[in-house]
Chain A
């Protein structure tokens, strides 16, 4: 650079007097280059420019690939080891389902939910819906920002406007209503209290889409306590259900399944099991598990209950109720109940108060209170009072409500009078919604203030008195959302973080009486670590039974004509998680239909009406649904699942099935989920169901072996005679394979398994099983590694149902292995049948040759992982980046054209083996738990080392009830099944099969 001479003083010191001139001066003095206009470029400049140009050209041209930065931790955070999962104890509660959970987090992403064994309520079990909820976290349809009148806005602006509105309402003495689902969080309730303190004209309404209000109302009138009791099914020797699907959907299915299966298990030390009779109209999961299923119309349910009451009351010398005779015989059931006074349980799923009152009477007469059900330690669920919602709708329409805050509720979808509600809503001055998932109601409100998803937020819960649990964020909020509690606090003028409020509540209310010896900090940390804190609440056994509450006579409905029954779907529940692809693709435990709801009708009615499966019928001209012919359906009852027909929930849920909520009735005080005298007519159209199983008969094959309790007591191997026969005849030229080290095996107790489907979703979540969508399921291409086979037998009007979870049987002599030309599937030294996806060329011979048909082929590019562009088949949007966050990095995703199947969760085996190796110890039995076994609320699945003679699995395999599926083929499976035992009389004749 040549030396710079200034021509004038201005050039040396700009006349504008810029303060930088001294810098220029300094630069000149130390010789920093500063091109001066007019001076010719030097050779150096040229070289520099040239070099720069070349370098930038090179950089630019090589910049096509976006740079993905992987930055290692400079200082490793305490809890994070890359490649190693952390588990955070938390709680899942969405107003409907409750489960104490552990959230498995890998590299900051929740990828799996496991049951929390420390909870005395759910005891490590969870349901299909809870398992699937981790995917809802990554739902692309979630609201990403607050919005005002449909336009996205800043939180500050929304807050300011809402507060202004609230204050105006307060000044004008207007009424504010907060509608929430049942809230079991003491801290959330205190938040609402604080809000009410600030705005005293506020009313808080709890609204349950699927209500159980009748139970609490009945308890109010019989015992003076408006609560739902807690139930102990395991203590009951005789269980009688009236349309309560307690294994699938009713109140706390996870807890009830745990208890129920405990009472159903038999073994060497326990040669007794509970007896379960079930009265119902549609074929529910619970009914299909019952020892005796009695088909009853819903309209006659009350008569049957009252007759049962009378039978018992007569024997006990109590007053009877005046009613017509029962259409079905209840004598036997009554005798069994009376024989087990104090250890029986009668439950009713109806939302009719009178029915529940009589059921209370029965349970009281039988002395069940304090043993199998407890009114003093109530379940804090379903606290909604149905009539409040009716009142609110009326008030809204009269313009009496100025401010309406809808916090986690979706009446526009699941309220029977949604139209009326929305009309009224428009009359309120201020309408705010606080949804965590996209719903129909949120966008009807002026202000949309999205809530965190349950896995992103702090909360506490009290499911039963003294039974506390916490939930903690397992991930930073993905979108610009805010905890609903914080939102309400902010509007109430309380500036505090919600977690601090929870802490102070716990410090104030729980810690002092906790009996914990350490500081509050320790108490909090322990509770947070465990996810639960449970303390015994004084055993108050006193109950005040008011005999006069039992009616002396009941008015009966006409049971003429067709009836409609609305049930909660086992897959999507009440519909709030309908946009979850795992749940949509989950086959119904009974009908095996995915991606749909339908009108289940009886075989006889179909014949009478001349309808075949797939025809469309319209129900009361309100809802058109395809017909599904259901064995065991009550002759004149049509069952329809709720939770479908979402119109604004995201692309997955929309257009799937029809919304049956508008058909819900409101009689007297409560919402009634059935209807008499419905008009049904066939309308135009045809529908094809996406079913995962279309053949319903076992064809007399010894696939699911069963026996009866009396036969079992006589001979534990009864029903399993074939096993001995096969063992006797089994002979081979080949030497028996020896497994040194481990030999993994799995066993399924068919007596415990209820078929609830939790394992199916758990498996999909753990193993990145693709979702293929309705059309592919129609083509029988679902990818589930685990399925539950269901067969009917005997009377088509009321068949016996059996279920069998089937996963890869990991044969020691596997037919799939020897036929693979490239050796892509082999048997490991530990007896696991393995797939080398990278080696698979997709001849599908293994699939053909698998007698169990558990192998799944990637017919399309479901995972967007093959080299060919533009061929992804992903109807459920599972390949978008956000949803891919749920993928388990320990399990590779499979590309188009390869076979996949159950691996016994080999990644979990490997992890625990490594842990044991690092700690220089032997693996303990029960340390490795595959995803299906982990989640099973019935503890029906056992996994372990067959080489360890003391392991649970070895004991299962040695049990007389153990057999292998298709064992006569000599495939030597590593999966065993224990025969199903029914608590029924021994059958003289062989079962008749239902052909379909």
Chain B
């Protein structure tokens, strides 16, 4: 007799509510291990390096970067778009998957959301630091003033300001609201008075009453409803930084969907990179299972393929448009002096993720880890290709130049990576990396024990 296969359990092992709490909060207890200390040392060093680079940029000017009269944006904006893209996975997981009632999201949403916040913080740094006059950067906000000057609502950069700040605050709220029940749990388990006090304050007096749960659930749903369109809008707007211009290679209507799928693609890759390490070092393999990883890999192959089709569409449209500048821009991407960047982009984003069609690879930790790194690199180069190769040879050949980043630019990038990992390492020490209450909610339906 044919027995239809059961879904893979989302939580492995003999778990009850208490073991879940214990397992998840274990990394927060006691002194951090030596790997944690090694990690935090490296990441804070990187962060400080970024501080030095920031100083040089603000003090001596953008001239410390490799930009020139033709290429006004380089690594700075490349990094900005890359980081914003990475953030998208968290919101996608917590908002869209929540709305679609995907239970597997419960194990990964907390860390993915935290990652979103950190990535957006890193991203937000670049539009600020790339300003020539950071000290008057506040001009970008439409604040009332006696001089009757107002911002330009036609500019996509202004849309960016709203998009990124909205995104950051909604993500922060959403993440925090989700944290509240778990903060209550930690408060209850805290042994030291100061810990009790802090977590007590942070949990807003959570007692787990039915009324609390009801309000929590509805607020979560409302925020999910708010955050879901943000997943689509934020990167659409970021893409308009390019799409509303006249520069061949930027001036493309395909950009919004192409950027959003690219963002989810790169976001999931980063979540995978992080969680493959985290589940191992924090002994969370039973919560973040191979099944979870496989689900994420499926999303990667879906979004990766969309991105691949977008690349080909761009090439097709360039040829079909009959516009010589457009045609040259794409020819130059593939065969010009930055051909290597284009090749890396194509390889890492279009070719390697296709390996996930094989179930074995999809479920292999090592392969997933390597491919996720590839995707991270590939998506960075995608932005580099868009930003730099479009600019360096545009309309008038007399102004064509080349671009090479300086140490300061590299320092800023390393600095944001340092910031990202510093925040992540601090996060794993003070907050539960898995949403305890949400995992518990799926234990009875999807835990191995119940199957």
How far in angstroms is the closest Cβ of chain A from B420?
A: 24
Looking at A594-602, A661-669, A817-825, the stretch in contact with chain B turns out to be A817-825
How far in angstroms is the closest Cβ of chain B from A756?
A: 17
Q: Which residue of A lies closest to B406 (CB)?
A: A779
A407 within 8 A of B: no
CB atoms of B69 and A849 under 8 A apart: no
The one of B69, B135, B139 that contacts A782, using a Cβ cutoff of 8 Å: B69
B276 within 8 A of A: no
A81 within 8 A of B: no
Q: Which residues of B contact A699 (CB under 8 A)?
A: 328, 397
A839 within 8 A of B: yes
Looking at A447-455, A513-521, A852-860, A908-916, the stretch in contact with chain B turns out to be A852-860
CB atoms of A859 and B139 under 8 A apart: no
The one of A776, A790, A791, A815 that contacts B245, using a Cβ cutoff of 8 Å: A815
Q: Which residues of B contact A695 (CB under 8 A)?
A: 393, 397-398, 400
The one of A823, A853, A899 that contacts B396, using a Cβ cutoff of 8 Å: A853
A834 within 8 A of B: no
Q: Which residues of A contact B70 (CB under 8 A)?
A: 780, 853
Q: Which residues of A contact B132 (CB under 8 A)?
A: 840-844, 857-858, 896-899
CB atoms of B398 and A781 under 8 A apart: no
CB atoms of B72 and A847 under 8 A apart: yes
A694 within 8 A of B: yes
The one of A698, A843, A867 that contacts B397, using a Cβ cutoff of 8 Å: A698
Q: From residue 62 to 77 of chain B, which have CB atoms closer than 8 A to chain A?
A: 62-63, 65-73
How far in angstroms is the closest Cβ of chain A from B398?
A: 4
Q: Which residue of B lies closest to A848 (CB)?
A: B72
How far in angstroms is the closest Cβ of chain A from B230?
A: 20
CB atoms of A821 and B61 under 8 A apart: no
Looking at B155-163, B292-300, B431-439, the stretch in contact with chain A turns out to be B155-163
| Complex Cα–Cα for A861 and B133 (A) | 11
How far in angstroms is the closest Cβ of chain B from A868?
A: 6
| Complex Cα–Cα for A873 and B71 (A) | 21
Q: From residue 220 to 267 of chain B, which have CB atoms closer than 8 A to chain A?
A: 241, 244-247
How far in angstroms is the closest Cβ of chain A from B412?
A: 16
How far in angstroms is the closest Cβ of chain A from B416?
A: 19
A871 within 8 A of B: yes
Of the listed residues A781, A849, A868, the one surrounded by the most CB atoms of chain B closer than 10 A to its CB is A849
A700 within 8 A of B: yes
A948 within 8 A of B: no
CB atoms of B73 and A844 under 8 A apart: yes
B137 within 8 A of A: yes
Q: From residue 802 to 853 of chain A, which have CB atoms closer than 8 A to chain B?
A: 806, 815, 818-823, 839-845, 847-849, 851-853
| Complex Cα–Cα for A847 and B67 (A) | 11
Of the listed residues B140, B149, B161, B245, the one surrounded by the most CB atoms of chain A closer than 10 A to its CB is B245
CB atoms of A842 and B245 under 8 A apart: no
A29 within 8 A of B: no
Count, chain A residues at interface, CB 8 A? 60
| Complex Cα–Cα for A776 and B69 (A) | 10
Given A779-B68, A842-B132, A860-B60, also A806-B396 (CB < 8 A): yes
B209 within 8 A of A: no
CB atoms of B67 and A852 under 8 A apart: no
CB atoms of B137 and A841 under 8 A apart: yes
The one of B71, B161, B241, B396 that contacts A851, using a Cβ cutoff of 8 Å: B396
Given A821-B140, A821-B158, A822-B151, also A856-B397 (CB < 8 A): no
B150 within 8 A of A: yes
CB atoms of A842 and B62 under 8 A apart: yes
| B 393-406 binary contact with A (CB < 8 Å = 1; else 0) | 11111111100000
Q: Which residues of A contact B61 (CB under 8 A)?
A: 858-861, 871, 873, 896-897
Number of A-B contacts (CB under 8 A): 177
CB atoms of A845 and B247 under 8 A apart: no
A676 within 8 A of B: no
Of the listed residues A787, A822, A966, the one surrounded by the most CB atoms of chain B closer than 10 A to its CB is A822
CB atoms of A898 and B394 under 8 A apart: no
B136 within 8 A of A: yes
Q: From residue 134 to 172 of chain B, which have CB atoms closer than 8 A to chain A?
A: 134-137, 139-140, 149-152, 154-158, 160-161
Given A851-B395, A897-B62, also A842-B328 (CB < 8 A): no
Given A776-B63, A789-B398, also A853-B151 (CB < 8 A): no
Q: Which residue of B lies closest to A790 (CB)?
A: B398
A693 within 8 A of B: yes
CB atoms of A856 and B69 under 8 A apart: yes
A710 within 8 A of B: no
| Complex Cα–Cα for A867 and B135 (A) | 10
How far in angstroms is the closest Cβ of chain A from B149?
A: 6
A958 within 8 A of B: no
CB atoms of A841 and B397 under 8 A apart: no
B358 within 8 A of A: no
CB atoms of B60 and A871 under 8 A apart: yes
CB atoms of B400 and A859 under 8 A apart: no
B59 within 8 A of A: yes
Q: From residue 5 to 23 of chain A, which have CB atoms closer than 8 A to chain B?
A: none
CB atoms of A818 and B59 under 8 A apart: no
The one of A823, A853, A965, A969 that contacts B69, using a Cβ cutoff of 8 Å: A853
CB atoms of A806 and B62 under 8 A apart: no
Q: Which residues of A contact B137 (CB under 8 A)?
A: 841
The one of B68, B150, B152 that contacts A820, using a Cβ cutoff of 8 Å: B152
| Complex Cα–Cα for A824 and B69 (A) | 18
B131 within 8 A of A: yes
CB atoms of B63 and A860 under 8 A apart: yes
| Complex Cα–Cα for A855 and B158 (A) | 21
B324 within 8 A of A: yes
CB atoms of A822 and B395 under 8 A apart: no
Q: Which residues of B contact A871 (CB under 8 A)?
A: 59-61
CB atoms of A845 and B397 under 8 A apart: no
| Complex Cα–Cα for A899 and B66 (A) | 17
How far in angstroms is the closest Cβ of chain B from A737?
A: 15
Q: Which residues of A contact B241 (CB under 8 A)?
A: 845
CB atoms of B397 and A849 under 8 A apart: no
How far in angstroms is the closest Cβ of chain B from A273?
A: 26
CB atoms of A781 and B63 under 8 A apart: yes
CB atoms of A851 and B246 under 8 A apart: yes
CB atoms of A693 and B398 under 8 A apart: yes
| Complex Cα–Cα for A776 and B66 (A) | 11
Q: Which residue of A lies closest to B68 (CB)?
A: A780
Q: Which residues of B contact A873 (CB under 8 A)?
A: 60-61, 63
Q: Which residue of B lies closest to A789 (CB)?
A: B398
B383 within 8 A of A: no
CB atoms of A841 and B69 under 8 A apart: no
How far in angstroms is the closest Cβ of chain A from B16?
A: 55
How far in angstroms is the closest Cβ of chain A from B129?
A: 11
CB atoms of A845 and B157 under 8 A apart: yes
A611 within 8 A of B: no
B179 within 8 A of A: no
A697 within 8 A of B: yes
Q: Which residues of B contact A779 (CB under 8 A)?
A: 66, 68
| Complex Cα–Cα for A822 and B145 (A) | 13
| Complex Cα–Cα for A847 and B395 (A) | 13
The one of B157, B244, B245, B391 that contacts A843, using a Cβ cutoff of 8 Å: B157
The one of A787, A818, A857 that contacts B155, using a Cβ cutoff of 8 Å: A818
| Complex Cα–Cα for A908 and B152 (A) | 28
Q: Which residues of B contact A818 (CB under 8 A)?
A: 152, 154-155, 244
| Complex Cα–Cα for A779 and B133 (A) | 21
Sampled A-B contacts (27; CB under 8 Å): A693-B398, A700-B324, A701-B325, A701-B395, A703-B396, A780-B401, A787-B398, A789-B398, A819-B245, A820-B152, A821-B152, A841-B132, A841-B137, A843-B132, A845-B157, A845-B245, A848-B245, A851-B394, A853-B396, A855-B69, A856-B69, A857-B69, A858-B132, A859-B62, A873-B63, A897-B133, A966-B396
Q: Considering the complex of A and B, which 8 residue pairs feature the smallest CB-CB distances, nearest first?
A: A842-B132, A897-B132, A844-B72, A859-B63, A780-B68, A789-B398, A853-B399, A860-B63
Residues of B within 8 A of A (CB): 58-63, 65-73, 127, 130-137, 139-140, 149-152, 154-158, 160-161, 241, 244-247, 324-325, 328, 391, 393-401
